[in-house]
Homo-oligomer: A and B are copies of this chain.
Amino acid sequence: MSLRLPRRSSTGRKDATRHALLEAALNVFGEKGYHGAAVDDIVDRAGRSKGAAYFHFPSKAAIFRALVRELANQLVNSIQRKMDDVDSPAERLDAALLGLIDVFVRHRSLARIVLIEVAGAGRAFSDDLIFVRRQFADLIERELDRAVEIGAIPPCDTHLIATAWFGALNEVAVHWLHDPDAGSLHASYPSLRQLLLQSVGFSPAEVDRVPLHA
C-alpha cells in the first residue's frame, strides 16, 4: 500500500515498532499536517503506546524528520532506478518526471508531506526542506549536465533550471492535491513534458517523440 520504509532487520520487534510508527506517521501527517497531528494520533494508528514512540524518537519533530528523510531517500532511489533503465537524456528525464508523478498519484500522503508539509512545518525544518528539494533537483541537474556534455542541449545554468523544473512539477501537483477531480496528474504530463524539454532547448524531434510509458 505504502512505500516500503526500510525495515532494518526482518524479524526484530524493535524495528517492527519503529516501522509501524513511521508508517502511521506517514498517514497521520499526510492527513492532518504536522501541526494538526498529535503524537497520540500517530501512536494510536500504529497500535503502539506513547512510551514506545519516545523510546524510538526523542521528540515529535524527530519522528517527522526521520520520516521525511527516509521518504526522500526511498523516492530518489526508486526514481534513479527507473532512470537507469534508459539511456538518452530526454528519456531519462522523462522517466524521472513520470516516476515522480506515478509515486505522487499512488501515495498521496507522501506527496502532501514531501511537497507541502515540509515547507509549512516551520523554520525549524527548513534544513530538511532544502535537503529534500535538493535531492530531487540534484537528480535532474545531473541529467541536464549530462545532456549538455553530449551536446543534446546548449550550455545553461543547470542548477537553477533543475530547481525551476522541480518547482513547476511541484506547483502542478499542489493544485492536483487540492482538487484531485480537477484533472489527473497524468493528464498534465504531456504538456508539462513538452514545456520542460523545450525550455532547455531540446531539439523538436526529441520533444515531439511520444513517451513510451503514457
Contacts and interface: CB of A to CB of B under 8 A. Distances in A.
Interface of A: 32-36, 116-117, 119-123, 126, 129-130, 133, 156-157, 160-161, 163-172, 174-175, 178-179, 188, 191-192, 194-196, 198-201
A157 B157 CA distance: 26
A133 B116 CA distance: 14
Nearest to A35: B35
Listed from nearest, the 10 A-B pairs whose CB atoms lie closest are A120-B120, A167-B171, A199-B199, A164-B168, A157-B191, A167-B167, A167-B168, A35-B35, A168-B168, A160-B191
A35 B122 contact: yes
Given A120-B116, A130-B175, A170-B171, A164 B33 contact: no
27 contacts: A33-B120, A33-B122, A33-B123, A120-B121, A120-B122, A129-B174, A129-B178, A130-B175, A130-B179, A133-B171, A156-B191, A156-B194, A156-B195, A157-B191, A160-B172, A160-B188, A163-B175, A164-B168, A164-B172, A165-B168, A166-B171, A167-B167, A167-B169, A170-B170, A171-B171, A198-B199, A198-B200
Contacts of A130: 175, 178-179
Contacts of A160: 172, 188, 191-192, 195
A36 B122 contact: yes
A161 B119 contact: no
Given A163-B175, A170-B171, A191-B160, A119 B119 contact: yes
Given A120-B120, A199-B195, A199-B196, A175 B133 contact: yes
